[in-house]
Structure 1
Amino acid sequence: MDFKVAFSALEAACKEIISTFSDAAADLVHGPVTQRLVMCMKKIQEHARAIEPLIGSFIAVYHHYDFDAQTPGNGYRTLIKVLQSCLLHILHKARYIASNHKSAFFRADHNASEMEAYCSALCQLRALLYLAKRLINDNDFGQLYSLQDLDLSHRYVQEYSSMHKACFYGRCLGFQFSPSLRPFLQTIVISMISYGETYSKQQSGLGLAALSLLTSGKYVIDPELRGAEFERITQNLDMQFWKSFWNITESELLTGLCRIASYPVQLNLTLTIPPVPLRLPLASDPNLSTTVSPPLAHWGPGPVHMRLISHEIRQGQDSEELLSFSRGDPPSVSASNLPWVQKQPLSPWLLIHFHGGGFVAQTSRSHENYLRSWSKRLNVPVLSVDYSLSPEAPFPRALEECFYAYCWALKNCHLLGSTAELVCLAGDSAGGNLCITVSMKAMTCGIRVPDGIMAAYPATLLTTDASPSRLLTLIDPLLPFGALAKCLNAYAGVDSQTALPAVGGNSLRALGRDTTALLSDLTQGASNWIQSFLQPMWPTSGAYSRASRHRESTSRDTHRNLNHTSPLHSQCYLDYPEGFEPLRSECHAVVQPTSCPIIRNPFVSPLLAPDSLLRGLPPVHLVACALDALLDDSVMFAKKLRDMGQPVSLTVVEDLPHGFLSLSQLSKETELAAEVCLEKISEIFQQGN
């Protein structure tokens, strides 16, 4: 996109609308809405004129922050890409208004509200560009993080806490992502708000489901209310809320649907491995061995839970020894209960998987949809580890359990249907971090390292240090900064003394099968149906009138914000150009910076690991998202490994959010991105051929 052309077109569109709606005749037709549109377009003009030279300064240098010339991707590029999406939406809406304002079906209030929302978004994106400009000036050349300037990072956290974010969760929700994902994002946001309203109420079962359903409709009708409530929830609700909401993917309904939609497998077996010491040969001299202790951190020895998935039954997978580790769930299909199923020989490959979930939520069950696909497409057994979760089990418990599971798999690969000639570690997000740190731990213990790592959008720096891609947490509905900081602090053990497991009515996992089905199914249906039915209508009475009154109130607040005259929360923690200040939130977020020393432990944040702990890693394949707040984690870690001479590749997929692997069945774009991950794993297994 030629930005000069885009800014010129936007300037012309703004002038046309200002001229048209400044006319007295337009005022007679559309009433006070004309004043709103004129004021809004003037503010858009002001923002665009200030932003245009900023864009040029970023374009001139952002290629210096890429991994290499063939892999254009870093947080600065992403900010420009997001701004481009916002400008295109504004330009499209402006042209629509200019062409259709005389139509009898033209909804002046609706279009004014749309333009005001994107004006607010443009204002906040302008602020993010100023913050990113500060990063370029303060960081070393080519560096995306302020790893040494803790005061600067702390001020970024404070600035985030007071900035207005609701505009990105209302009418502008998901504008930066692929259009095919926007209905899904709306459903997630509405479900989260509805659940947040009932979270603190002492209700469970059908009562909770009914309340959530009844409250969801108003957030479809009223985008401004949706944005304000989502901002409030993401800023102020505790860690247990996030755990319980994210664990909706564990419900019988969703896992059942995923199993129906995913590839069938002949083996899906849950295992519980007792905590006994293991003897493994040393990598340097297989005639010597070392002892691997079971997980011990925080509460002493305990079992490790895993899930074995195999598209075909292989030798060893129906053995009495393996079935003795079963947690009570029989294999979905096995040679022992279907005698005519022919057992396949041991595979030379073994895939060991660590799931994502911010170290605080989800299990292998949440990720079954793509694990089943991998097992079939690669024709390989998949062992997925259900490590203990924070804050109940902070670092290093998850790492110890994953490392023990890796060692147990090497020693008992014959039970898993594999000779383990080639072993690949794969994981997403937090699981990607564990893939890297487990490999580091294997090197320090002197045992065999895996033959390759595929880490999708991994977290390699578990701090709240500022980077250009981390600025996206201001606008990301799936990874808001408040939730990210809570996850990082939970893994560091900051809240481990006071954290309690989610129980009772505060967890969606506590809902029965029928209740969860009612909540999930009806919320989705209500969202789609009400959206399509009510959007072209004017609210007239009852609840609709209340929604209309709320919109009028929000419009007045928007006008006040557009003029920047609100005295609320006007304190700035960073310097902006004279005459500009971002919009401020009505309530500050309470964000605790990651100040615990554990966060900078190299086995927590491998980006901070010394070269001695990284040298000798197997080939690392990183698959990152251009629109992910953790993009810079992957770019900087890939650069670090490359500069050491370590084998590494980085692929950056476009237009998708963090967590795309779990969304692989939702759209063509997520399916293609998941295919990239599969290709990287296949590349690891094919390296011996």
Structure 2
Amino acid sequence: MSFENEVNQASENPQNSHWDTLCQLANANKEFFSPHQDECGLRICTAHIVVLDIVKELRPLCEEIAAIAPQYDFDENTPGNGYRSFISLVDKSILHCEGICQQIYNLRESVLFRKTNYMREIEACSQLIASLSTFLHHLKVLHSWSELGMDNRPSLFPSEEHSSQELLDQAGNIDQYCFYGRCLGFQFKDSIKYLMKTVLVSMASFSEAYYTNGSFLGRCTNSVKYVIDPEARARRIVNVSQRADVYFCKSFWYLHDTHLLHFVRVMMIPSLAINQVISIPPEPLSIPSISGGPDVQIPIPVSHVGKKPIHVKLWSSKRRIGMVGSARAGGELYGPSDVLVFHCHGGGFVADSPKSHETYLASWVVALDVPIISIDYSLSPEAPYPRALEELVYTYAWALKHANSLLGTNAKKVILIGDSAGANLNLGLAAKCLQLNIKKPDGIFMAYCPVLVEFVPSPSRMLGLTDPLLPFGFMMRCLRAYVLGDTTLDKKDKDNGSGEFSKSDTESFAEVSESDLIAIALSPHGDKADESQLASLPSDSTLNSVSLAEVDNTHGVELTKSEDKSETTSQEYIRKFLDLYKNMSFKRSSTSVVEQTANDFDISDGKETSNFFGFPVPRSGSRIRELDTTCSKSPTEEFVFTVPKDPYLSPYRHTDEVLRQLPPCKIITSDLDPCLDDCVMFGRKLRALGNNVTLDVFTGLPHGFLNMTVASKEAADASERCVKRIQELIDM
């Protein structure tokens, strides 16, 4: 029988697998190139030998891990956990290697055969499966560390008697370069693979502009090289993920908030009747207690950066009675909605804004036909924990109080939705509602949420060593920034980085007087609204900070003289906000958002930077930022730090009594998400306590896939499933 027939039979026979096909192709190629005495021929032959040796070791390891993986699933109908994820990675790596070996086999005698190129391809394949073999050995260690969870099944989180440093010390021999070079994106859906290459080329090029190592011309040359040289790109990405500080992460993630990308998003998302930014001044606020006692005084956020307005964005597909912006919006005027959806964006606690998540939220607004309000909370490291949570609690209470008068809803049902860090904050908000004895949300939707914000190794968290979008180093620096902040920032830096009004997300302004708000507050709660009252409210994208005292009708406490001196009045906020907008509008007409955010987060000095293709480049004479490529200290050493076992940091640590009182939860994640195990374990814990909880695990999608809906059909399909789950919460 010819070799071609053997390969075809192996592919068609169910008893054989891609493992067998790969071995047959590797053996055939090894025999073909073994007589070659040139360097490329010898290296191709050696790489195939290595592939054969590793496959021999990897196959029984894979079968061993596959046997234990089902023990950790959410349930028998929802397969998914970090052990299964690495089995999937191995299977996809075998397919990838098989494809490269097949190409070599088909083209090796052709005059078009690029020997040097395929030498590098097969060497990259050998490095890929070798790294995955090392991962599987580490998974065996994690399995031995496991203890029973409260549902009497093995936990994906190791017992606390084992130090995370133990695994870090062993993980040093994992070759990360293969995941960012020629094999980049092998584990993802096809629609995601090309997006990954674009993102990583952008990251590597952006790092050349952000850091000032070498000459300007050299950095420009390197940026071009990252497009055509996968090995150079991989070296740069690994170096950046291990050495770059959290400010690099912030600046890079803010790239998708540039005017150009925002314009592209706007062209691809549905238009909404209401797209309004509201600025909430930090004034005394009280709302009714659910027990019928005295009104609950909601604490004003003051941690780290003091009192400042909180910006929220309101979206609605319909203009509704009692909704800001309805006056000039066209179309029929509808009654208030019974539902309010409260959104909190992700971004590792350090980046992003409601605008950056508008890609999928706009379609959700249309599909759900309910208003969505999204909070633009203060970010770390300038405003670390608990600042963001304080702002969420205050904004949630404000939304309940002004649902009828500003948001066009009677808020009979309130659903919390959030992704990643935003979902973590929403869980903290729900627990705070129980603590304050105020109305708790009626449902929680969580997307790829970290529920244990501590340095605890789990199988899926090891995916961070392979993940292009959420590298392990980035993930740990964001965690550290949220927990500890940045002690190197002095007061001036903090004011520049996240001070009052520094994070305004505004496109246009319209001054709104208190009488306007009173007019809409007096409109009927439903049927007959006076159009003349509504007409005074603008439909521009921004509502200024104004005093809501008269709308509240509860602000009967007069400020003392000392308070007058220390607190800024609402009218002052209006003036400052308008002044700021005028200044920012002038700057934005001549500079990009990327440059502005880079300046905000550059703690080197206050000097301006020039701009190179939208990337920030320090001017001569300013303190330069350099990427430390020669540090003898292991990159993993800085990741070992003490994190308080605070349940508002890590919702998984809430008491059983608190978790039992949480509303129904819908959780979605991906099999390639480093937060997969967090979602699985949190779902298992809630279900063991009797909560109503569901879990969906999508395949082949990365962390943050909701932001990819315009580029990936699979991500768009997952987004539709999310809408279905949110609708289920609304209908409960």
Q: When the two structures are superposed, what TM-score results if normalisation uses the length of structure 2?
A: 0.77
1:148 matched to 2:155: no
Is the partner of 1:175 in helix, strand or coil? coil
Query: What is residue 110 of structure 1 aligned with on the other side?
Result: 117
Structure 1, residues 455-513: CA drift from partner, whole Å, max 9, x if none?
A: 1001111122111111111110111111111000111025345384687999824289x
Query: What is residue 266 of structure 2 aligned with on the other side?
Result: 259
Query: Separation in 1 of the partners of 2:74 and 2:81?
Result: 8
Q: 2:675 aligns with which of 620, 630, 655?
A: 630
Q: What pairs with 1:614-625 in structure 2 (closer than 5 Å)?
A: 614-625=659-670
Query: What is residue 11 of structure 1 aligned with on the other side?
Result: 23
Query: What is residue 464 of structure 1 aligned with on the other side?
Result: 455
Deviates more, 1:71-80 or 1:299-308: 299-308
Query: Separation in 2 of the partners of 1:446 and 1:491?
Result: 27
- Contact residue 268 and residue 308 of structure 1 kept, 8 A: yes
- Contact residue 592 and residue 614 of structure 2 kept, 8 A: no
Distance 1:668 1:610, change over 3 A: same
1:291 matched to 2:297: yes
Distance 1:482 1:618, change over 3 A: same
Distance 1:418 1:136, change over 3 A: same
Structure 2 residue identity aligned to 1:226: R
Is the partner of 2:17 in helix, strand or coil? helix
Structure 1, residues 95-146: CA drift from partner, whole Å, max 9, x if none?
A: 2212221111111111111110111111111110000011111211521112
Query: What is residue 184 of structure 1 aligned with on the other side?
Result: 195
Structure 2 residue identity aligned to 1:446: N
Q: 1:604 aligns with which of 649, 654, 668?
A: 649
Is the partner of 2:160 in helix, strand or coil? coil
- Contact residue 441 and residue 663 of structure 2 kept, 8 A: yes
- Contact residue 595 and residue 614 of structure 2 kept, 8 A: no
Distance 1:622 1:261, change over 3 A: same
Is the partner of 1:272 in helix, strand or coil? strand
Query: Separation in 2 of the partners of 1:112 and 1:660?
Result: 33
1:20 matched to 2:27: no
Structure 1, residues 66-120: CA drift from partner, whole Å, max 9, x if none?
A: 0000100000000000011101111121122122211111111111111101111
Runs of 5+ in structure 1 lacking a partner? Answer: 319-333, 521-584
Structure 1, residues 578-609: CA drift from partner, whole Å, max 9, x if none?
A: xxxxxxx99942552353232x2111111122
Is the partner of 1:337 in helix, strand or coil? coil
- Contact residue 464 and residue 674 of structure 2 kept, 8 A: yes
Query: How far did 1:217 drift?
Result: 2.2
Query: What is residue 680 of structure 1 aligned with on the other side?
Result: 725
Query: Separation in 2 of the partners of 1:388 and 1:158?
Result: 35
Q: What pairs with 1:219-618 in structure 2 (closer than 5 Å)?
A: 219-283=226-290, 285-286=291-292, 288-318=294-324, 334-338=325-329, 341-414=331-404, 415-498=406-489, 500=493, 508-510=594-596, 518-519=613-614, 588-598=634-644, 600-618=645-663
Structure 1 residue identity aligned to 2:354: S
- Contact residue 162 and residue 588 of structure 1 kept, 8 A: no
**Count of aligned residue pairs for this structure pair:** 593
Structure 1 residue identity aligned to 2:239: R
Query: What is residue 33 of structure 1 aligned with on the other side?
Result: 40
Q: What pairs with 1:165-176 in structure 2 (closer than 5 Å)?
A: 165-176=176-187
Query: Separation in 2 of the partners of 1:238 and 1:310?
Result: 38
Distance 1:480 1:202, change over 3 A: closer
- Contact residue 244 and residue 506 of structure 1 kept, 8 A: no
Structure 1, residues 409-459: CA drift from partner, whole Å, max 9, x if none?
A: 111111101010111000000011111111011111111111101110011
Is the partner of 2:711 in helix, strand or coil? coil
- Contact residue 346 and residue 352 of structure 2 kept, 8 A: yes
Query: Separation in 2 of the partners of 1:642 and 1:311?
Result: 35
Query: How far did 1:61 drift?
Result: 1.8
Query: How far did 1:276 drift?
Result: 2.0
Query: Separation in 2 of the partners of 1:685 and 1:483?
Result: 35
Query: What is residue 544 of structure 1 aligned with on the other side?
Result: none
Which structure would you say has the larger Rg? 2
Is the partner of 1:383 in helix, strand or coil? strand
Is the partner of 1:597 in helix, strand or coil? coil
Query: What is residue 132 of structure 1 aligned with on the other side?
Result: 139
Query: Separation in 2 of the partners of 1:4 and 1:132?
Result: 26
1:48 matched to 2:55: yes
Query: Separation in 2 of the partners of 1:335 and 1:452?
Result: 27
Query: Separation in 2 of the partners of 1:667 and 1:642?
Result: 32
Runs of 5+ in structure 2 lacking a partner? Answer: 1-10, 149-153, 498-586, 599-609, 616-630
Query: Separation in 1 of the partners of 2:240 and 2:202?
Result: 12
Query: How far did 1:7 drift?
Result: 2.4
Deviates more, 1:123-132 or 1:247-256: 247-256
Query: Separation in 2 of the partners of 1:596 and 1:198?
Result: 33
Is the partner of 2:49 in helix, strand or coil? helix
CA RMSD of aligned residues (A): 2.6
Query: What is residue 653 of structure 1 aligned with on the other side?
Result: 698
Query: Separation in 1 of the partners of 2:265 and 2:632?
Result: 40
- Contact residue 670 and residue 702 of structure 2 kept, 8 A: yes
Query: How far did 1:212 drift?
Result: 7.4
Query: How far did 1:32 drift?
Result: 2.1
1:639 matched to 2:684: yes
Query: How far did 1:159 drift?
Result: 3.9
Query: Separation in 2 of the partners of 1:244 and 1:227?
Result: 20
- Contact residue 287 and residue 296 of structure 2 kept, 8 A: yes
- Contact residue 36 and residue 112 of structure 1 kept, 8 A: yes
- Contact residue 251 and residue 597 of structure 2 kept, 8 A: no
Query: Separation in 2 of the partners of 1:170 and 1:676?
Result: 33
Structure 2 residue identity aligned to 1:304: I
Query: Separation in 1 of the partners of 2:84 and 2:99?
Result: 23
1:197 matched to 2:184: no
